[in-house]
């Protein structure tokens, strides 16, 4: 055991001398390994980044919440089947709200885009969301300051608004927005609340919204719009029951005959999670295949270079054996050498992947946790071990006298 450690640590210094003597070749050889590590690491970084993004996106949508909408979020089959579906209406929202027993909160919202302005500061097009009082609870999207939309706002179609954090920062800073008038299209809306900050997903901000009463939106900006009904379950473990109930209520509201298909969709975050899992599985597979191929190519390159190295240094191996090197000492010398080459390749690969991740970070979320870096290194070492084994065994088996004769 002590002898093995001695072999490895001495093998390290011997290998280092040999590699230093052949810097260019060693670096060229690492290229294949680097490419493999870059590919795999980048893929993993993207998946890691997506994971955090998706988690925050799911948080934005609220857990235990389903959304009744005209279209499904993800259309895997033919889109034309959904083309002629009727809009979800305010009346259907009222009916769900009235009859659902499994729902804790039922909110509705509809959406339009309008320019907004405060004094001389303007934004061309910002999402204006018309909401009902329960939408905040249904979507778990609460005001942080001030208040939300109330029933009386709805009845009187008041022009008040609750703004997102971005609107506050970009339009009102340095003024306190509370009580001031925000221009939405041609109207003035008094700010009564500021929403809690949600951050961004996939580089897109969740805080660039203005919420106004649902009735005010349909009254002032037109009522022929798609409505989304957001329903939060009383018991998050009974999502399927809730979906069944909502389906039944919607079918009843629309007078669908038993042989007719649903002409609405009940979306929930599980659909996104499923879809996301499919995407990441695809990225994984691509990463593993590309990375695997480049590591294989890199590994074969290492094996080749190590075989050349063994042939070139035959007399050296003979000499080492003549002065008392055991078979295992020579074996370790060459194994350590190929492992150092691949680990240098691994380090270069990780560094390049980090730079690549920084560049990609502008479009895609990425992250490089410590375990990923460490496993990339370990993987490189294993590649060196596997592909260095054959040349190392060959070197260690050389007959000292045959080796010495070859000058």
Partner 1 sequence: MSSLIDFKSISKIYEIGKIKVPALIEVDVNIEDGEYVAIMGPSGSGKSTMMNIVGCLDAPSDGVYKLSGERVDGMTDNQLADIRNRRIGFIFQTFNLLPRADAFHNVELPLIYAGLPRIKRREMAKEALERVGLADRIKHRPNELSGGQRQRVAVARALVNNPNLLLADEPTGNLDSKTSYEMMELFGNLHSEGNTIVIVTHEEDIAAYSHRVIRLFDGKISSDVRQEPRNGSNGKFAGKPEE
Task: Give the closest residue to 343 by CA, choosing from 48, 36, 7, 42.
Answer: 36
Using CA atoms, how far apart are residues 334 and 398, in angstroms rounded to an integer? 13
Asked if residue 90 binds partner 1 (CB under 8 A), the reply is no
If the CB atoms of residues 152 and 327 are measured against partner 1, the closer one turns out to be 327
Q: How many residues touch partner 1 (CB under 8 A)?
A: 22
Pairing of strands 187-195, 160-163: parallel
Asked if residue 322 binds partner 1 (CB under 8 A), the reply is yes
| Least distance (Å) between residue 50 CB and partner 1 | 49
Report phi then psi at 255, rounded to 5: 55, 45
If the CB atoms of residues 215 and 396 are measured against partner 1, the closer one turns out to be 396
Task: Give the closest residue to 130 by CA, choosing from 205, 184, 71, 197.
Answer: 184
In our burial notation (b when 16+ CB lie closer than 10 A, e otherwise), range 12-21 reads bebbeebbee
For partner 1, the binding residue among 250, 303, 325, 343 (CB under 8 A) is 325
Asked if residue 407 binds partner 1 (CB under 8 A), the reply is yes
Asked if residue 401 binds partner 1 (CB under 8 A), the reply is yes
If the CB atoms of residues 6 and 121 are measured against partner 1, the closer one turns out to be 6
Q: How many CB atoms lie within 10 A of CB 300?
A: 12
For partner 1, the binding residue among 147, 219, 278, 326 (CB under 8 A) is 326
| Least distance (Å) between residue 24 CB and partner 1 | 15
| Least distance (Å) between residue 3 CB and partner 1 | 6
Compose the 327-366 pattern: x for residues touching partner 1 by CB under 8 A, - for all others.
Answer: x-x-------------------------------------
Question: What are the DSSP calls for 49-93, one per residue?
Answer: HHHHHHHHHHHHH-TTEEEEESS-SS--S-GGGGTTPPPP-HHHH
Kindly identify the residues of this chain, within the stretch 3-32, that bind partner 1 according to CB under 8 A: 3, 6, 10, 17, 21
Cα–chain center distance at 390: 40
Asked if residue 77 binds partner 1 (CB under 8 A), the reply is no
Cis bond before residue 292 (omega within 30° of 0): no
If the CB atoms of residues 55 and 401 are measured against partner 1, the closer one turns out to be 401
Q: Which residues bind partner 1 (CB under 8 A)?
A: 2-3, 6, 10, 17, 21, 315-316, 319-327, 329, 400-401, 404, 407
């Amino acid at each position: 055991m002590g002898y093995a450690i001695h072999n490895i640590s001495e093998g390290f210094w011997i290998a280092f001398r040999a590699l230093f003597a052949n810097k260019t070749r060693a670096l060229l050889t690492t290229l294949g390994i680097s490419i493999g590590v870059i590919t795999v690491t980048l893929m993993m970084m993207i998946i890691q980044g997506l994971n955090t993004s998706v988690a925050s996106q799911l948080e934005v949508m609220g857990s235990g919440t389903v959304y009744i909408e005209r279209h499904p979020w993800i259309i895997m089959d033919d889109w034309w089947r959904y083309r002629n579906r009727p809009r979800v209406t305010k009346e259907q929202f009222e009916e769900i709200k009235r009859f659902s027993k499994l729902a804790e909160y039922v909110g509705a919202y509809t959406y339009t885009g309008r320019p907004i302005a405060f004094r001389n500061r303007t934004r061309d097009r910002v999402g204006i969301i018309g909401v009902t009082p329960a939408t905040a609870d249904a979507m778990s999207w609460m005001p942080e300051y001030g208040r939300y939309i109330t029933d009386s706002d709805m009845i009187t179609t008041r022009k008040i608004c609750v703004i997102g954090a971005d609107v506050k920062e970009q339009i009102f800073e340095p003024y306190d927005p509370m009580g001031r008038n925000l221009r939405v299209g041609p109207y003035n809306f008094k700010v009564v609340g500021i929403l809690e900050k949600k951050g961004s997903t996939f580089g897109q901000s969740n805080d660039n919204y203005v919420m106004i009463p649902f009735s005010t939106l349909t009254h002032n900006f037109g009522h022929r719009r798609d409505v989304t009904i957001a329903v939060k379950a009383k018991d998050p473990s009974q999502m399927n029951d809730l979906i069944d109930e909502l389906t039944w209520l919607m079918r009843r509201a629309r007078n669908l005959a038993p042989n007719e298909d649903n002409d609405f969709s009940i979306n929930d975050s599980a659909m996104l999670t499923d879809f996301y899992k499919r995407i990441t599985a695809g990225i994984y597979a691509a990463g593993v295949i590309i990375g695997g191929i480049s590591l294989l190519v890199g590994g074969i390159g290492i094996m080749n270079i190590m075989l050349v190295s063994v042939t070139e240094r035959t007399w050296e191996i003979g000499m080492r054996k003549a002065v008392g090197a055991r078979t295992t000492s020579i074996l370790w010398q060459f194994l350590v050498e190929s492992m150092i080459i691949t680990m240098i390749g691994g380090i270069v690969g990780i560094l390049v992947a980090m730079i690549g991740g920084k560049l990609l970070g502008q479009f895609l979320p990425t992250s490089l946790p410590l375990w990923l870096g460490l496993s990339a290194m370990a993987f490189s070492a294993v590649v060196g071990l596997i592909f260095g084994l054959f040349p190392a065994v060959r070197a260690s088996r050389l007959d000292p006298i045959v080796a010495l004769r070859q000058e």
